[in-house]
Structure 1
């Protein structure tokens, strides 16, 4: 199944009411945000909210360290780096029909998500740490280290104004923490997608 086919299937499931809340997650630069945007653009914008979870990653990560590797900073691969209680509150608010003001980021202004919209797509690493009962379906993305680094360099230097040297220096640590702390979340997804070598391969049976 190609990406286009999966998007068409998801649109059909959303239009028929089988999916009202969809969770999309994966490690950094795995391709989840691009997919979420493509799906969002394929839907009626008057009926769907896209809640991006990057703003729920705390900026105070320097206050804690991984127990097994105390010399490393905490990346978003650890649950402790996420404001999960706040994210759950906002998801429940939208599901209950209440408006939510999103958190401003340096590269994106805050906006109001309307609780009147019946469909909710939640996208970002934080989704992997949330109870699966929040979602009607979950999709997880992953990719190989080389592809991840290539995408991170292209995105973070242009969109997020990050330094190339910092990205290169932190890549090994990020990948190690992904394997140690985040990879296990992949087994809980309804659909697992491998985007290694910039390909699109579905690794689990479509539910």
Structure 2
């Protein structure tokens, strides 16, 4: 089994690239796990209290469960990956069943920030995009799919996301096995990324 870690800042295009690879490869070959499924479940807090939490800091991630699930996949066992609600900031009662496959793609902003998780990756790829590019993509996504408004998205990006990115994400760029430039939005980048993954899994 090859476990490929795909990290990059919020809005860098990780999910789009991973979904392109999922469509490119046979479903018999690849499974995908998102870090977003492993946010801690603060079900004892009120909604207002959950909204004030910093979801861009490593403390927001349930790394114990994340590492345990990856090890289970390595051992040939299927897992029940949590489903996380962005609107409620809570885990759902449902889950996604993930099966062990020859290739497992793991994507997220903070997957390189935890040594025990990072050491499970066969290969590490950093998705690189400029701050203004990431903000533009973040605005489009959060307004359209997560019910946020323009000022809310911009304020959070500048006050929380960018400082956390510079502290916990960007430093891992130079220590990654591959750096993939994802500043452009043209379709050709999807093919280039699929070609990179093809090379890694041969």
Counterpart secondary structure, 2:179: strand
Segments of 5+ residues of structure 1 without an aligned counterpart are 1-18, 64-71
4+ residue runs of structure 1 moved beyond 4 angstroms?
197-202
Deviations along 1:150-192, one digit per CA (max 9) or x if unpaired, are 1001111122222322101112122122113321121221111
Cα displacement (A) at 1:195: 2.4
What TM-score, normalized by structure 2, do the two folds share? 0.75
Segments of 5+ residues of structure 2 without an aligned counterpart are 46-51, 87-91, 194-198
Counterpart secondary structure, 2:6: strand
Cα displacement (A) at 1:125: 1.6
1:74 to 2:54 alignment:
yes
Q: Which structure has greater strand proportion? A: 2
- Partner residue, 1:4: none
Counterpart secondary structure, 1:102: strand
Tell me how many residue pairs correspond in the alignment.
Answer: 174
1:23 to 2:2 alignment:
no
Query: Kindly tell me: are residues 51 and 181 of structure 1, through their superposed partners in 2, closer, same or farther at Cα, counting changes over 3 Å?
Result: closer
Higher relative contact order (CA 8 A, sep 6+): 2
Aligned match of 2:65 in 86, 93, 96?
A: 86
Counterpart secondary structure, 1:196: coil
Aligned match of 2:130 in 144, 151, 164?
A: 144
Mapped contact 2:110–2:168 kept (Cα < 8 A): no
Counterpart secondary structure, 1:127: coil
Q: How far apart, in 1, do the equivalents of 2:84 and 2:119 lie?
A: 28
Mapped contact 2:38–2:84 kept (Cα < 8 A): no
